[in-house]
């Protein structure tokens, strides 16, 4: 990233926003335990507040989940501008060999615009059916699903539609979505090191799977706020920006919900004339045209509406039309507050009366759904190392006492994940570790309670698409 690609920095007051309003927003976020990982507020093209809850940091990418969709939409807009397709092209025309034997009238009527606006006519999200295709042919699996409604008449959030857009771009260009976007969007914006998950056939997933940094999200939002211009260079057609961020389909009538203000081309309309891209667990790119502002957020939370409610309560109304007098005390207080943000550490003792008895002792577990085979707790200087063995191998996690210690694990899917861990004895017989997989939203907690020659193991996820708490496992000391 070059200097002209980085967003300039300023103070809130210089852009009509009291520092105290940003502090009040952070206070409210933490009072509600909303689990933000980062925020970057841009006004008039300049960053006026930014912060990361350690161990998250500005240099680390973060999973975007469905915020990826807005980048997919942008790729389609660029392909349209290059004359490669039209939003009124039939979807079946791109995949004639994958069409079902019997083509319904609704499937034949499905257009690219219906994929973009989540109005394909399906009655259920197709994504799970893509995963289940035995040959990994996701396009065929999508086209095989019943289309119950006339396309364009029924809104249904459907990540399979986003995958189809990615597959269309790849068919037309011979490049993955990520490779297609790199010279056209990512490199001009200074977005480096982006990664995107792929399907079994090498197509970027489209509806999820993109990982980039917080400032990358902010620059993307600023590009849309500027109607596709970046430092005087046209990156995205203005017509596409206006069309993609306008309400293309109704999605509800609740005036208090930011999920029922209309849906564009993979962008949500918001209250207060704003719009956004967003992803599961609190990944946000909120564009506020009336305030000439962009808010980028990464997080690990369940209640996404609660975050937007606080944005509308504390930040949006505080943005005035003219600069304010500098408030050094409030600005310094905000700066110190932002610098001190952290995911809560495990609080407890460095050791306990039970520690010497269990240190280095291996505990074996009977077969279980979590695939945990063995556990041990070992001294590691002033810290403790939690050693887990499962189907992926052995994972040694150094847990800082009153601090985050960084390492790498291959938990869950076998892929290496950067982790930071904090641990302490929270009772005489109990060691608690918090693992922060700081390029994801996930920060699970592990509690080990030692009783005689047994250990009771509890894994509680911070959030997820399934149950947060797993069944307790009981292991026995190896003889």
Q: What pLDDT shows up at residue 410?
A: 80
Task: Return phi, psi of residue 442, to 5°.
Answer: -95, 130
Q: What pLDDT shows up at residue 416?
A: 86
325 token code pair: 């007098």
Residue 392 vs residue 264, higher pLDDT: 264
DSSP string, 7-56: PPB--TGGGT--HHHHHHHHHHHHHTT--EEEEEEEETTEEEEEEE-BT-
Instruction: Let me know how many helices (H) and strands (E) the chain has, helices first.
Output: 14, 21
Q: Is the pLDDT of residue 21 over 60?
A: yes
Q: What is the mean pLDDT of residues 125-138?
A: 97
The partner residues of 395 in beta bridges, in order of sequence, read 388
Q: Determine whether 312 is exposed, middle or buried from the number of CB atoms within 10 Å of its CB (0-12, 13-18, 19+).
A: middle
Give the residue extent of every domain in the chain. 355-477
Label residues 291-308 b or e (16+ Cβ within 10 Å = b). bbbbbbbbbbbeebeebb
Does 2.40.128.20 match the CATH number of domain 355-477?
A: yes
Mean predicted lDDT score pLDDT of the chain: 96
Q: What pLDDT shows up at residue 431?
A: 98
Q: What pLDDT shows up at residue 1?
A: 55
Q: What pLDDT shows up at residue 475?
A: 98
Stated pTM of the model: 0.96
Q: What is the mean pLDDT of residues 78-102?
A: 98
Q: What pLDDT shows up at residue 464?
A: 64
pLDDT in tens, 48-83: 999 999 999 999 999 999 999 999 999 999 999 999
pLDDT in tens, 4-16: 578 999 999 999 9
Q: What is the DSSP letter of 345?
A: P
Q: Are 135 and 91 in contact (CB under 8 A)?
A: no
pLDDT in tens, 270-293: 999 999 999 999 999 999 999 999
Of the pLDDT bands very low, low, confident and very high (cuts 50, 70, 90), residue 412 is low
Q: What pLDDT shows up at residue 349?
A: 96
**CA–CA separation, 119 vs 157, rounded Å?**
8
pLDDT in tens, 306-316: 999 999 999 99
pLDDT in tens, 422-463: 999 999 999 999 999 999 999 999 999 999 999 999 999 867
Sign of CA dihedral 36, 39, 41, 42: negative
């Amino acid at each position: 990233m070059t200097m002209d690609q980085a967003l300039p920095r300023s103070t809130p007051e210089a852009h009509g926003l009291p520092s105290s309003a940003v502090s009040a927003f952070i206070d409210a976020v933490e009072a509600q335990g909303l689990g933000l990982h980062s925020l970057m507020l841009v006004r008039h093209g300049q960053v006026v507040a930014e912060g990361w809850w350690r161990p998250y940091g500005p240099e680390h990418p973060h999973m975007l989940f469905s915020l990826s969709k807005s980048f997919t939409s942008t790729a389609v807009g660029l392909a349209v501008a290059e004359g490669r397709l039209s939003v009124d092209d039939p979807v079946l025309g791109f995949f004639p060999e994958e069409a079902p034997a019997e083509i319904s009238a609704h499937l034949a009527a499905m257009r690219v615009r219906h994929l973009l606006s989540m109005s394909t006519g399906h009655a259920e999200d197709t994504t799970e059916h893509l995963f289940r295709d035995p040959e990994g042919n996701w396009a065929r699996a999508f086209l095989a699903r019943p289309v119950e409604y006339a396309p364009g008449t029924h809104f249904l959030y459907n990540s399979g539609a986003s995958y189809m857009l990615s597959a269309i771009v790849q068919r037309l260009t011979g490049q993955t979505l990520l490779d297609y976007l790199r010279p056209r969007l990512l490199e001009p914006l200074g977005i480096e090191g982006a990664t995107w998950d792929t399907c079994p056939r090498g197509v970027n997933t489209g509806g999820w799977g993109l990982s980039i940094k917080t400032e990358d999200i902010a620059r993307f939002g600023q590009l849309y706020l500027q109607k596709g211009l970046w430092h005087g260079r046209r990156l995205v057609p203005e017509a596409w920006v206006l069309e993609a961020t306008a309400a293309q389909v109704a999605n509800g009538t609740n005036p208090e919900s930011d999920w029922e203000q209309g849906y564009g081309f993979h962008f949500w309309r918001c209250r207060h004339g704003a719009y956004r891209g967003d992803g599961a667990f609190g990944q946000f790119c909120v564009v506020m045209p009336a305030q000439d502002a962009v808010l980028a957020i990464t997080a690990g939370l369940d209640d996404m509406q609660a975050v937007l409610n606080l944005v509308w309560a504390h930040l949006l109304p505080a943005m005035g039309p003219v600069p304010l007098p500098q408030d050094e005390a409030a600005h310094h207080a905000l700066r110190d507050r932002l610098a001190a943000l952290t995911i809560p550490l495990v609080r407890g003792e460095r050791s306990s009366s039970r520690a010497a008895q269990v240190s280095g002792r291996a505990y074996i577990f009977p077969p279980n759904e979590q695939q945990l085979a063995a556990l041990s707790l070992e001294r590691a200087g002033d810290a403790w190392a939690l050693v887990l063995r499962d189907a992926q191998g052995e994972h040694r996690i150094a847990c800082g006492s009153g601090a985050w210690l960084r390492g790498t694990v291959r938990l869950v899917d076998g892929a290496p994940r950067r982790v930071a861990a904090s641990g302490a004895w929270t009772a005489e017989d109990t060691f608690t570790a918090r693992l922060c997989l700081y390029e994801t939203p996930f920060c699970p907690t592990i509690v080990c309670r030692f009783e005689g020659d047994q250990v009771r193991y509890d894994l509680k996820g911070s959030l997820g698409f399934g149950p947060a708490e797993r069944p307790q496992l009981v292991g026995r000391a190896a003889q």
